[in-house]
Structure 1
Amino acid sequence: MTRHQNGSGVRRRSLSLLVALGTVAGATFAGAATADAATWTTVAAGVAYRQYDLQAAAGKTHVHVLSVDLANTHVRLGLLYPGAVAARSGVSTMANKQKAVAGINGDFFNISEVQHPGVTATGASVGPAIANGKALKSAVPNAQRFGPELPPGTNTRAVVGVGADGKARVDSLSLNGTFTTVGRRLPLGGVNQYALPENSVGAFTSDWGSVSRKRATCGTDTERAAACSTSTYEVTVKKGRVVSTSATPGSGAIAVGTTVLVGREAGAQRLRKFVKGQRVAVRYGLTSASQPAYSFAVGGYPILSGSTPPAGLDASVSAVRTAVGIAAGGKRVFLFALDGATAYRRGLTIAEVAAALKSLGATEGFSLDGGGSSTLVARPAGATKVTVRNHPSDGSERPVSNGIGVFTK
């Protein structure tokens, strides 16, 4: 991940100005953050912003946080994304295009493909994603994720989202999908994923975008960098009938009402039996054991449950981070991002992030993508567009796969 410097002198002057204006308040870190002296400023009714210093194990860092009141019926959270799963955009661009008043970056994503020459990095996210109640994609296999090692007991199906009851929660979403033909109902191994399980068949829809689908057949269930499969097959289904087949995964936009089935290994063998004109029915959804429906959801991994961090949460590696905290039974959400300016870039460990969320009042916590991806945006008073409030460590906004947007009526 290449870092682009933006001039440390400019950053120091900017931060000094904020201190002089009294908008940055100090805080200490002693197992948990204390930020009582920090001042909240109103972004919109039910949405407030503040920033403060935090002293941590690796040194001083700087926190930017949004407080979102979901008890206010005029406030909601939603998925920020570029309009396609396999695409990337800046958080501010997505927020302004979707008319969000604030937001942060979201899930880890397929950022590079140096291990697979000739294969395009898709930009698609790791975990499940739901936008406006619609399932956009399911999770890649654990070994195929990008990002730091997952804490023990967690997996790529983890999400933070808002249920049909209007409450935010941390959950797990599994794919429930099938393709049916000639009286046989077979399982789908993925939907709009940059990596499919070995021997499976995955579905790609108009939500995917125009990026090549070849990456879906690369790597294995145990090694992301493993070679691409040499046994692949692709079937295009339009209006319930096979219209074309190919021995290799293709690229280009997929029309609405069309589904492309991509198979690898045993999955490819199944698809080779399909012929033009054959009827095929594809159905899928994302299911949860605890919540029947979500208005929005984004992937990452849990770092706080019932006010307690999970066993084995890393307490040694400090970095710039983005996270979500949930309080008040799911009716209060904290969107939390660290500053990537040179003076603060050492950041926090994941264990320290969990403690900082807890100090804000959160009982549930969830980690999102960090490093150069960490971005928090909000509208200044009276403005119609958001501005970036933290200093991304790349020196400018990194295009990302998705984010969490705050919307008001």
Structure 2
Amino acid sequence: MTVHPIGCLVSPQELAPRVAYRTYATSAAHGPVRVHLLSVDLRAEGVEVDLLHPGAVAARAPLSELADARGAIAGVNGDFFHISEAQHPGVDATGAPVGPAIGGGRELKAAVPAGQRFGPALPPGTDTREVFGVGADHRARMGRLALDGAVTDPAGSFPLGGLNQYALPVGSVGVFTADWGAASRARAVCGTDSDRAAACSAETYEVTVRAGRVVAVADAPGRGQVAEGTEVLVGREEGARRLRALAVGDRVRVRHRLVAESAGVPYRFAVGGFPLLRDGTPLPGLDAVTAAVRTAAGITHGGRGLLLMALDGAPGLRAGMTQAEVAALFAGSGASEAFGLDGGGSSTLVGRAAGEPAVTVRNHPSGGAERPVPNGIGVFSGG
């Protein structure tokens, strides 16, 4: 694959001090491509990066709307998501993302089981807990976020298996908070840890907790906005049997947090996907055959710089790149790490120069128009 060195990129445009947008043409194994690239210097005064999302985990909106609603100057789409639900008639697709999500320091959701994810096959040795984000130290990094939680009731404590997830592990109990939104919780008990298309569980139970006490119970997961200060517990199989022991009025305490696999500075922002490049070296076993229009993020200057990339989906340019080619592109652009995000019709990059009233879509989405997405990476500038 031919990769332009970063100094030879064409059509540069400064969107804000030390935030630049560039586009350039190159060639990949399957044909010509056009790369749309944002370079972000996190050392610049006023420059921030955060999660863009519609205000609920189980909701979607076009990236341009998400960016304008937050006043972002640029951004790319984020995680893969629950886009369809043909296998379970009568169960709605939630639109919720696959992996963990943190926005503005608020922990929004945990990862679904690996067999329940949407998107291409993961590189060997990776899983749905992978994240790309920025810590409280203002440095970007990749890592993993696991759910650490428990439910304590009159009979004792048991582990929490999910937080605002469209799919719960078999036999577990998950919690849904106001961050989930108004979407149905029914999909959470469908499929298995290894088979997304498996039947929905025949043994389910739901418990609503407010101010530390059970206020309602139901045999099946419900729908509708969860009020602030309220938690809805959904159980399947063994988890459902555990919840059935609860009665209205019982005291229940729910604890949950997302824990980084490697101890360090907490994430202020994190989005799901999968790693492509570590320490300047492509991950072993990356797909070098399947090409697609792709979105990805890279880390430069020891976490002080970001590269956010989306390929163009216009006819004649949508040959795309393989995972291995994207890793090589970022390595050739000076990145030490790179992270794959949702691609295909979701791949979108937006930007707004000084004086412009709103962002514009800089690439051509391969579906001909922006696809509503559950989240994205937003770039902000106070300068």
- TM-score clears 0.5: yes
C-alpha separation in 2, matches of 1:236 and 1:183: 17
C-alpha separation in 2, matches of 1:246 and 1:324: 43
Q: SS of the residue aligned with 2:165?
A: coil
Q: Which residue of 2 aligns with 1:146?
A: 118
User: What are the Cα deviations for residues 215-244 of structure 1, in whole angstroms up to 9, with x where unaligned?
Assistant: 000000110000100000000001110000
Equivalent residues in 2 for 1:2-401, closer than 5 Å: 29-30=1-2, 32-39=3-10, 40-182=12-154, 184-288=156-260, 289-401=262-374
Residue 223 of structure 2 aligns to which amino acid in structure 1? S
User: What are the Cα deviations for residues 252-272 of structure 1, in whole angstroms up to 9, with x where unaligned?
Assistant: 000000000000000000000
Q: Is contact 1:302–1:366 with CA below 8 Å preserved after alignment?
A: yes
C-alpha separation in 1, matches of 2:38 and 2:263: 27
Q: How far off is 1:248 after superposition? A: 0.4
What RMSD over aligned residues (CA atoms) do the two structures have, in Å? Answer: 0.9
User: What are the Cα deviations for residues 45-79 of structure 1, in whole angstroms up to 9, with x where unaligned?
Assistant: 12100000011101100000000000113101000
C-alpha separation in 1, matches of 2:263 and 2:20: 30
C-alpha separation in 1, matches of 2:216 and 2:9: 61
User: What are the Cα deviations for residues 279-336 of structure 1, in whole angstroms up to 9, with x where unaligned?
Assistant: 1111111011232411100000000000001110010011100000101000000000
Q: Which residue of 2 aligns with 1:4?
A: none
Q: How far off is 1:146 after superposition? A: 0.3
The percentage of counterpart residues that share the same residue type is 58
Q: How far off is 1:33 after superposition? A: 4.1
Q: SS of the residue aligned with 2:37?
A: strand
Q: SS of the residue aligned with 1:95?
A: helix
- Provide TM-score, normalisation by structure 1: 0.92
Q: SS of the residue aligned with 2:308?
A: strand
**How many pairs align?**
380
Q: How far off is 1:408 after superposition? A: 1.1
Q: Is contact 1:138–1:174 with CA below 8 Å preserved after alignment?
A: yes
- Provide TM-score, normalisation by structure 2: 0.98
Q: SS of the residue aligned with 1:355?
A: helix
Q: Is contact 1:33–1:355 with CA below 8 Å preserved after alignment?
A: no
Q: Which residue of 1 aligns with 2:377?
A: 404
C-alpha separation in 2, matches of 1:372 and 1:227: 28
Q: Is contact 1:35–1:52 with CA below 8 Å preserved after alignment?
A: no
* Residues 351 and 33 of structure 1, relative CA distance in 2, 3 Å threshold: farther
C-alpha separation in 2, matches of 1:363 and 1:300: 17
Q: Which residue of 2 aligns with 1:9?
A: none
Q: Is contact 1:106–1:368 with CA below 8 Å preserved after alignment?
A: yes
Q: How far off is 1:385 after superposition? A: 1.2
Structure 2 gap segments, 5+ residues each: none
Q: Is contact 1:58–1:347 with CA below 8 Å preserved after alignment?
A: yes
Q: How far off is 1:35 after superposition? A: 4.7
Q: Which moved more, 1:213-222 or 1:290-299?
A: 290-299
Q: Which moved more, 1:104-113 or 1:183-192?
A: 183-192
C-alpha separation in 1, matches of 2:159 and 2:357: 46
C-alpha separation in 2, matches of 1:291 and 1:127: 20
Q: Which residue of 2 aligns with 1:8?
A: none
Q: Is contact 1:322–1:337 with CA below 8 Å preserved after alignment?
A: yes
